[in-house]
Amino acid sequence: MLIGVYAAVHAEFRLVQELRETTERTVEARATLTKLLALHTDAETAVRGFVITEDERFLAPYETAIGRRSILFETLRTDADQMVLARLPELHRMSDAKLANAAVNIASVRAGNADDARRRIAMGQGKAIMDNIRLEIAAMDSEEASRLKTLTSRAATSRVVLERTITAILIGLALLLLAVTLIVSHTIRQRGEALNRAQRLAERQRAMFDGGVDGMLQLDGEGNILRMNPSISRMFGYTPQELIGQHNMFLMANEFSAEKSQAWLASVGAAGQDGAGRRQEFTGKRADGTTFETEVAISRVDSAEERRYVAAIRDISDRKRAEKMKTEFVSTVSHELRTPLTSIGGSLGLLGAGAVGPLNDKAKRLVDIAHANCERLVRLINDILDIEKIESGNMDFDLRKMHVAPLVERTVEAMRGYAEQHGVTMKAVLPPWPQCVVGDPDRLEQLLTNLLSNAIKHAPAGSEVEVFSNHEGGMVRLEVRDRGAGIPDEFRGRIFGKFAMADASDSRAKGGTGLGLAIAREIARRHGGDVGFDDRDGGGTVFHFDVPAVGIGSSSAKTDKPTGLPSIIHLDDDPDTLTVVASAFEGTAQIIPAHTVAEARQKLADMQIDGAILDVALAYESGLDVVPQLRARNDEMPIVVFTAVDESLRSHGVDRVLVKSRSSIDDLVAVTMGLLGQQKRAA
């Protein structure tokens, strides 16, 4: 807007300057025209006086006119408008004619022929020329006047436009300044409100920080104490002056190096939906030297300037004592109940077996009921003791290398009688290759027994409970599949909790303690795996647990394969295909399964491989990625692609390509063994 004002005013100044210059030239031109007219009039008057009087003194104005005429015409050429300049030659011609006529009259008088001069004057020739000069000068003066009027009108119009433009710009500028004023005012008001909210929030946070029952610490990035609430003083017995600036390890009974403390702080995340960034129990030390159990919940608080931590410390001494008392009480009661229940159960078993003579039907039924409930109490006590031992870390695990197949077969056989009582059949499906894990055989059997017991209880009569064993990456996965009613949605989140049952009536209708799945999960976690479940297609549930696999593809596994059989690595992400192919090669070759490219490469590094069967379309990769490694080990190794991808792949360095939809498993066996035979004969 200011630039617009400047441009408009500058243009007006330019117009005014032009008008002033034009006005000056116009006035000068009109004055020159007037002088030129007066000059010719004076010359005419002088000549007439000379003719009448024959006195030379009358010719003085004429002589002056002769000298000034050229100057006046030159002035007109400089100042006059273009239209005047166009008429100037005609005026100059008339002026020449007028002066020439005057010169003739003067010459006649000087020659003594004054009457001739008077006669010519009387005829009016000179007067006619003078009249034409007057008319021409009047026309030229009118042109200059019109030019001046046009410029004056233009200047007036420009002034009006300039006034309106400047007025509009100033009004717009005023509105803009008003809008800016309103925006700035609104911004200042919002900033003030935000500042007030921030101050109120800071006051609330300060009140929450200082008024918390738990001890609160604010730490810098190095772990030094920057701020504390009164509960810290009450809990540890230190004043703020004693703690501010100290490292947080000053409050711990156990000493840790600065490196460990920094590493622990670096692992702390920001608070999220799950609560604090990290929780940890530690033993605190009071100012008087006594110790107590605490729990710290610490979260990282990052700002643009630096990193901070907020730690909430809670005294859990009372909780620890209560847990210890509860554990000791449960353990004591359980142990005290075991002996009499064992005696009662044994006695009832002897009575039921007729050790004291035959019982009538009514007595035998009552003894059987008592014996069954006694066994139920014994199982409950055993489960309670097991879960307490696991949680307290007192349960011993005898970890050793073991095969999975005997574990499954032994457990299934042990549970077969229980399954028959519920009208359920059982089946185990195991891969043809050996599976090895490091675990406690008794505890893993207990884990599998709990899952089988749970499946049998909830499976409908006449259905089948299946146990499957397979590899999932680097883990051995055992699955227990049933055809029960499934797990209700509201129960899924707490299914592995202690004493958890989908229906409170289950404990009476189906039996059980509600601890089996909790114990199973803890045992699996102690083995480096976990327990989970999925809905089964067609109805039912699949419970599974994973245990890290060992020995598969290692030197220990090599001793398990039949002597003299070639080793063929089979890379495929479909477990069913792996199982079927392994069964088809049984007795002919040792199939080494691999689910991923990474797993295949690991087994290639550890084992002696004679051939390879590869699938191309894995989940996120291609089986062809291992071809270079296979060729690097043995350029003559038979490589067969067995895939659903129906396209030419021979250019990738493989020997044969079989499409799953067009070639049978028998074709795969024949082609692979044929290539192995050719290699052996060539060798």
pLDDT at 557 over 50: no
Alpha-carbon 456 to chain mean position: 47
Question: Which percentage of the chain shows pLDDT scores above 90?
Answer: 10
Closest to 632 in 3D by CA, of 671, 658, 605, 672: 605
* Phi, psi for residue 437 in degrees, rounded to 5: -135, 165
DSSP code, position 247: B
Q: If pLDDT is split at 50, 70 and 90, which confidence band does 586 have?
A: confident
pLDDT by residue (tens digit) across 497-533?
A: 665 555 544 444 455 556 778 888 888 888 788 888 8
* Phi, psi for residue 391 in degrees, rounded to 5: -65, -35
Which tokens sit at 590?
Answer: 């040792």
CA–CA separation, 336 and 27 (whole Å): 137
Which tokens sit at 222?
Answer: 């190095």
Pick from 274-288, 503-517, 550-564 the range whose average pLDDT is largest: 274-288
Cα angle 207, 208, 211 (rounded to 5 degrees) comes to 75
Alpha-carbon 189 to chain mean position: 34
What average pLDDT does range 431-454 have in this prediction?
A: 85
Q: If pLDDT is split at 50, 70 and 90, which confidence band does 561 have?
A: very low
The SS3 of residue 15 is: helix
CA–CA separation, 573 and 593 (whole Å): 10
CA–CA separation, 527 and 521 (whole Å): 10
What average pLDDT does range 376-391 have in this prediction?
A: 72
The single residue listed with the structure tokens 């799950």 is 274
Distant-in-sequence, close-in-space partners of 574: CB < 8 Å, separation ≥ 6: 615
Regarding predicted confidence, which is higher, 386 or 653? 653
Residue 545 has a CB neighbour count (10 Å cut-off) of 25
Closest to 41 in 3D by CA, of 70, 22, 12, 62: 62
Strand partners, 297: 279, 312
The SS3 of residue 635 is: coil
pLDDT by residue (tens digit) across 454-480?
A: 889 888 888 999 998 887 767 888 899
| β-strand pairing of 215-220 with 225-228 | antiparallel
pLDDT by residue (tens digit) across 606-619?
A: 888 889 999 887 86
pLDDT at 122 over 80: yes
pLDDT at 488 over 70: yes
CA–CA separation, 7 and 165 (whole Å): 11
Distant-in-sequence, close-in-space partners of 498: CB < 8 Å, separation ≥ 6: 387, 514, 515, 518
Q: Decide: 46 and 103 in contact? Cβ < 8 Å.
A: no
* Phi, psi for residue 571 in degrees, rounded to 5: -100, 115
pLDDT at 326 over 90: no
CA–CA separation, 231 and 220 (whole Å): 20
Q: What is the CA radius of gyration of the chain?
A: 59
| β-strand pairing of 656-659 with 611-614 | unpaired
* Phi, psi for residue 614 in degrees, rounded to 5: -125, 140
CA–CA separation, 345 and 206 (whole Å): 64
Return the HEC string of 561-628: CCCCCCEEEEECCCHHHHHHHHHHCCCCCEEEEECCHHHHHHHHHHCCCCEEEECCECCCCEHHHHHH
* Phi, psi for residue 158 in degrees, rounded to 5: -60, -40
Which tokens sit at 519?
Answer: 């114990």
CA–CA separation, 562 and 566 (whole Å): 9
Please report the sign of the dihedral spanned by the C-alpha atoms of residue 230, residue 234, residue 240, residue 243.
negative
Give me the pLDDT at residue 178, please. Answer: 93
Number of H helices, E strands in the chain: 19, 17
Closest to 669 in 3D by CA, of 627, 638, 628: 638
Q: Give the helix/strand (H/E) hosting 66.
A: helix 60-79
CA–CA separation, 518 and 257 (whole Å): 37
CA–CA separation, 264 and 225 (whole Å): 16
Contacts 24+ apart (CB under 8 A), 264-268: 265/219, 265/221, 265/223, 265/309, 268/298, 268/299, 268/300, 268/309
CA–CA separation, 571 and 650 (whole Å): 18
* Phi, psi for residue 438 in degrees, rounded to 5: -105, 115
CA–CA separation, 641 and 617 (whole Å): 11
Which tokens sit at 251?
Answer: 């409050």
Q: If pLDDT is split at 50, 70 and 90, which confidence band does 275 have?
A: low
What average pLDDT does range 110-115 have in this prediction?
A: 85
* Phi, psi for residue 603 in degrees, rounded to 5: -70, -35
Question: Which percentage of the chain shows pLDDT scores above 70?
Answer: 88
Give me the pLDDT at residue 253, please. Answer: 87
Calculate helix-pair angle for 114-123, 82-110, nearest 10 degrees.
150
Q: Give the helix/strand (H/E) hosting 206.
A: helix 125-211
pLDDT at 288 over 80: yes
CA–CA separation, 65 and 675 (whole Å): 135
Cα angle 526, 532, 535 (rounded to 5 degrees) comes to 165
Give me the pLDDT at residue 563, please. Answer: 47
pLDDT by residue (tens digit) across 635-679?
A: 888 999 888 765 666 667 888 888 776 677 878 888 898 888 877
Give me the pLDDT at residue 509, please. Answer: 46
pLDDT by residue (tens digit) across 74-101?
A: 888 887 777 778 888 888 888 888 888 8
What average pLDDT does range 148-152 have in this prediction?
A: 80
Pick from 2-11, 41-50, 259-268 the range whose average pLDDT is largest: 41-50
Give me the pLDDT at residue 504, please. Answer: 45
The single residue listed with the structure tokens 């408009």 is 8
pLDDT by residue (tens digit) across 209-235?
A: 777 788 889 898 888 999 899 999 988
Task: Tell me the average pLDDT of the chain.
Answer: 81
Regarding predicted confidence, which is higher, 255 or 379? 255
pLDDT at 556 over 90: no
Regarding predicted confidence, which is higher, 346 or 103? 103
Region of poorest pLDDT, from 189-203, 299-313, 365-379, 386-400:
386-400
Q: Decide: 676 and 637 in contact? Cβ < 8 Å.
A: no
What average pLDDT does range 476-492 have in this prediction?
A: 82
CA–CA separation, 471 and 546 (whole Å): 9
| β-strand pairing of 475-481 with 531-535 | unpaired
Closest to 175 in 3D by CA, of 164, 186, 183: 183
Alpha-carbon 505 to chain mean position: 48
Strand partners, 531: 545
CA within 13 Å, CB half, 328: 6
CA–CA separation, 249 and 538 (whole Å): 57
